[in-house]
Amino acid sequence: MINWITKDKAWELPASPLLGAAARGAACVLELAKGSIELTAVEPSIMRLRYSRSGAFSVRPSRAVVALPTGSVSLVEGKSGPEILAGRFSVDFDRSSGGITVSGSNGIIFSGEGPFLLDRDSVSLTAILAPDESIYGLGEKTGFLDRRGRHVEMWNTDDPVHTPDKDPLYQSIPFLIRFDGVRASGLFLDSTARSFFDLGFSDSERLGISVHDTEMDLYFIEGPSIADVVSAYTRLTGRMSLPPRWALGFGQSRWSYHPESRVMDLALSFRKRDIPCDTIYLDIDYMDGYRVFTWNGARFPDPARMCAKLEMMGFRVVTIVDPGVKRDALYPLYVEGAREGRFCRLADGSIYHGKVWPGESAYPDFSCGATREWWAHAHRPLLESGVSGIWNDMNEPSDFSPETDGDRRKATVPDEVMSDEDGDPRSFALSHNAYGLDMCRATAQAFEEFRPGKRPFVLTRAGYAGIQRYAAVWTGDNHSWWEHLAQAVPMQLGMGLSGVCFVGGDSGGFQGDADGELFARWMEFSALTPFFRAHSFIDSKPHEPWSFGPETEAAARDAIRLRYSLLPYLYSEFRKASLDGLPVMRPLVLDYQNDARTRNLCDEFLLGRSLLVAPVLRPAERERLVYLPEGLWYDFHTKEAVEGGRSIIAAAPFNRIPLFVRAGALIPFAEPADSTALMDFSRLRIEAYAGARGAFELYEDDGESFAYREGAYTLTRYEIAQASDGEWKIHSERICNGWTGACASPVVKLIGGPWKGPGGL
Ligand code: GLC
């Protein structure tokens, strides 16, 4: 008996032996004494392997997967049992042990140890881990980049205290990348039920996967590079679509800014103090008694007028929307939802009421298309008032009513509740992890209805694999602790490796009180992460950029202005990410996987392909160690050339984040202004960093509409290379010239001279 796959459970009942194997259409099916296995090829480098305990496979559409199987599979007799060929994979099923071995074109990528194991409500599988393997991905987790040695759980949980051992948190992305120093492969468990990954925790040489379901639906992805795996995973689960440019600006949030006069004062303060800001977030107190889709008339008498005034000042408004609908016989949304069967029910047909901010509340059943449409439609009072983005919170879903005995995983809708799934009901537990994604899907639909022609902006706390198609993610309720600033780096990097490019955290820390130094350092860091917002708790002291005195204000202003000046670069990188699915905020191991020193490096990262960011993560530090991979680099601030392949000590005065540029990089800049709406993106300058050949594709469009999909964009390829006379030359080529507002001729500045050192010429 094996009892180590989950910490608290014994497993028995192996699913083998094999009774028969047959090709069935584009699939190959192995019939076992208990259940069956089905194999299909999604594409040459992605293979699906499903196990079903009953032998019948679910036809429920996946929340995550958008790719359809295209390949065919064939069955041959192998050495010790059937062998299935699917794309570049071959799968050997060992008749005697029941073990499954999956090989890709470069050798074995999964050495299953034995058969699928079953117990009353779960299926599990184990495989051998090589001693030198790292494990990346798995979404929003505490801890370091390399998850090897951890035991992690997938169960969306509203847990507001993110201590290092805390797991799970709000997001469930059951996707991991295995990397042995040479080759990478991926494994995705497509299940919205509770699942566990034992990553060498119980036994340092074993990987265990278990899911609380009767099926296990796995996708194997071949590398060989980490980037190949992430790219294939995002072909499978979809990619972020290009966000509106304003959403890349800075956002100021607090629980909560109200009434209107306070919001206007806040907006004016940004403008008076010359601090760029694009977005003001309105937290739950804008509502009437926390009734979603209402405005508190006393606090916000004329939201449309307020949004219009703010828009004239270059601000967008984003409002929070929680799923819980207040139980109130006089509240039309509740009455309508109850009448039309929009809420989650118990098996006896009664509406389940939990407890969230509004008190007793019902939970829309977002697993149904009709409910999503209803919910989308309910956004009218917000989006028609001029709100530009929606912030979805509490969508794990959080529920304060169950007894938790200190276990936050229980602070959710109980398993007895049903999820209707468009008329194919099942226990809520089986679709629990999809609730946030389904909610965001409904929210994204609202934009089609009420802001047609404008790109949506949805921000979410909870999500599941594929959430990148609908929303940006912020990492929930962190604290104003230095430890949480440090933790934010690997946490956000892990999300990027899990397909979620548009990610960020509450800058300054949500709970507790930041001091000026922590706030400044956090702003310096967040300004160079994909999603940039300061947010704080209702009881925290003020956390605006000017709340900590002039020195912090100046540092925060500089950080935000640096972000705004880099927007042409960042926007181009976002566009690239929307096409290739690779993260904007990148762990070094993604771009330098042959460099063993990057394996678990997560106190620095790359922003796009060219900038290396080394945030200061401890108090009183005015310098820090920075590892620069092989090649020539430049200090962004001093333009001094630095040879890589070593660690250096970088200066980090209070208002400066260590930042390095790869030789061969071309970085476009714009002149910062109060908001993206007021910036002139037709006047750019480019810094070209000599010392290596390189290229950059500058992407420009109107920043807000979908016209780019019809070709209304400009793409210019800039190249730097050395000419025969030894001088560095810059060459540009318009690849597409579809947007009239593009910069006609940027001012190009060459940084650094001919470089004769290693890694250079
Ligand atoms: C949750 C959110 C937080 C928000 C608060 C009130 O704790 O994570 O960001 O401010 O609810 O809505």
Out of 140, 322, 477, give the residue to mutate to test ligand 1, the one with the largest number of ligand atoms within 8 Å of its CB.
477
Residue 393 CA to ligand 1 centre (angstroms): 7
How far is 547 from 658, CA to CA, in rounded Å?
Answer: 24
Range scoring the smallest mean pLDDT among 93-107, 126-140, 592-606 = 93-107
- Cα-to-chain-centroid distance, residue 213: 25
Work out the average pLDDT over 197-225. 97
- Model confidence at 502, pLDDT cuts 50, 70, 90, reads very high
Which residue has 């967040």 as its token pair?
Answer: 526
- What pLDDT shows up at residue 71? 84
Q: Which pTM value belongs to this model?
A: 0.97
- What pLDDT shows up at residue 372? 98
Burial label, 381 (beta-carbon count in 10 A; 0-12, 13-18, 19+): middle
Residue spans per domain, the chain: 248-322+370-396+435-580, 585-660, 680-751
- What pLDDT shows up at residue 222? 97
CATH number for the domain whose boundaries are 680-751: 2.60.40.1180
- What pLDDT shows up at residue 15? 66
Amino acid residing at 415: D
Region of 476 (left: φ > 0; alpha: ψ -120 to 50; beta: rest) is left
- What pLDDT shows up at residue 16? 67
Out of 252, 254, 291, 320, give the residue to mutate to test ligand 1, the one with the largest number of ligand atoms within 8 Å of its CB.
320
- What pLDDT shows up at residue 370? 98
Task: Give yes or no for residue 754 having a pLDDT over 70.
Answer: no
The answer to whether 250 and 560 have CB atoms below 8 angstroms apart is yes
Which helix or strand (DSSP H or E) is residue 86 part of?
Answer: strand 82-86
203 is catalytic: no
How far is 141 from 159, CA to CA, in rounded Å?
Answer: 12
What number does the ligand 1 atom closest to the CA of 255 have?
A: 10
Work out the average pLDDT over 316-334. 98
Task: Give yes or no for residue 5 having a pLDDT over 70.
Answer: no
Among protein residues, the one with the nearest Cα to ligand 1's atom 10 is 255
Residue 336 contacts by C-beta under 8 Å, 6 or more apart in sequence? Answer: 342, 374
The answer to whether 173 and 464 have CB atoms below 8 angstroms apart is yes
- What pLDDT shows up at residue 136? 98
DSSP class of residue 243? P
- What pLDDT shows up at residue 9? 52
- What pLDDT shows up at residue 726? 83
Out of 162, 257, 283, 392, give the residue to mutate to test ligand 1, the one with the largest number of ligand atoms within 8 Å of its CB.
283
In this predicted model, what pLDDT tens digit does every residue of 635-692 receive, in sequence order?
999 999 999 999 999 999 999 999 999 999 999 999 999 999 999 999 999 999 999 9
What number does the ligand 1 atom closest to the CA of 284 have?
A: 12
The answer to whether 417 and 349 have CB atoms below 8 angstroms apart is no
- Model confidence at 68, pLDDT cuts 50, 70, 90, reads confident
CATH number for the domain whose boundaries are 248-322+370-396+435-580: 3.20.20.80
Average pLDDT of the residues of the chain: 95
Q: What are phi and psi for residue 365, nearest 5 degrees?
A: -90, 90
What number does the ligand 1 atom closest to the CA of 283 have?
A: 12
Q: Which residues pair with 351 in a beta bridge?
A: 345
Residue 295 CA to ligand 1 centre (angstroms): 18
Structure tokens at 197: 């990954």
Give the pocket of ligand 1 (CB within 6 Å).
255, 283-284, 320, 393, 461, 476-477, 535
Burial state string for 140-152 with b = 16 or more CB within 10 A and e = fewer than 16: bbbbbbbbbebbb
701 is catalytic: no
| Per-residue three-class SS string for 177-239 | EEECCCCEEEEEECCCCCEEEEECCCCCCEEEEEECCCEEEEEEEECCCHHHHHHHHHHHHCC
Work out the average pLDDT over 356-363. 98
In this predicted model, what pLDDT tens digit does every residue of 722-744 receive, in sequence order?
988 888 999 999 999 999 999 99
Among protein residues, the one with the nearest Cα to ligand 1's atom 12 is 284
Task: Give yes or no for residue 606 having a pLDDT over 70.
Answer: yes
Structure tokens at 234: 């995002």
Task: Give yes or no for residue 6 having a pLDDT over 70.
Answer: no
In this predicted model, what pLDDT tens digit does every residue of 294-311 receive, in sequence order?
999 999 999 999 999 999
Work out the average pLDDT over 618-626. 98
In this predicted model, what pLDDT tens digit does every residue of 397-408 receive, in sequence order?
999 999 999 999
In this predicted model, what pLDDT tens digit does every residue of 93-108 receive, in sequence order?
998 888 999 999 999 9
Among protein residues, the one with the nearest Cα to ligand 1's atom 5 is 255
Structure tokens at 761: 């010429």
Percentage of residues in the chain with pLDDT exceeding 70? Answer: 97
Which residue has 């771009």 as its token pair?
Answer: 591
Catalytic residue among 477, 513, 524, 674: 477
Residue 342 CA to ligand 1 centre (angstroms): 25
What number does the ligand 1 atom closest to the CA of 538 have?
A: 10
What is the chain's Cα-based Rg?
26
How far is 158 from 166, CA to CA, in rounded Å?
Answer: 11
- What pLDDT shows up at residue 70? 82
Residue 106 contacts by C-beta under 8 Å, 6 or more apart in sequence? Answer: 183, 222, 223, 224
Structure tokens at 465: 């694999």
Alpha-carbon separation of residue 360 from 429, 503, 708 (angstroms): 21, 31, 45
How far is 447 from 462, CA to CA, in rounded Å?
Answer: 19
How far is 602 from 144, CA to CA, in rounded Å?
Answer: 7
Residue 505 CA to ligand 1 centre (angstroms): 12
Percentage of residues in the chain with pLDDT exceeding 90? Answer: 92
Topology classification of domain 585-660: Immunoglobulin-like (2.60.40)
The answer to whether 700 and 568 have CB atoms below 8 angstroms apart is yes
How far is 582 from 226, CA to CA, in rounded Å?
Answer: 10
Work out the average pLDDT over 175-183. 98
Q: At what angle do helices 516-526 and 550-565 cross, to 10 degrees?
A: 0
Residue 709 CA to ligand 1 centre (angstroms): 35
- Model confidence at 758, pLDDT cuts 50, 70, 90, reads very low
In this predicted model, what pLDDT tens digit does every residue of 556-580 receive, in sequence order?
999 999 999 999 999 999 999 999 9
- 248-322+370-396+435-580 and 680-751 have identical folds: no
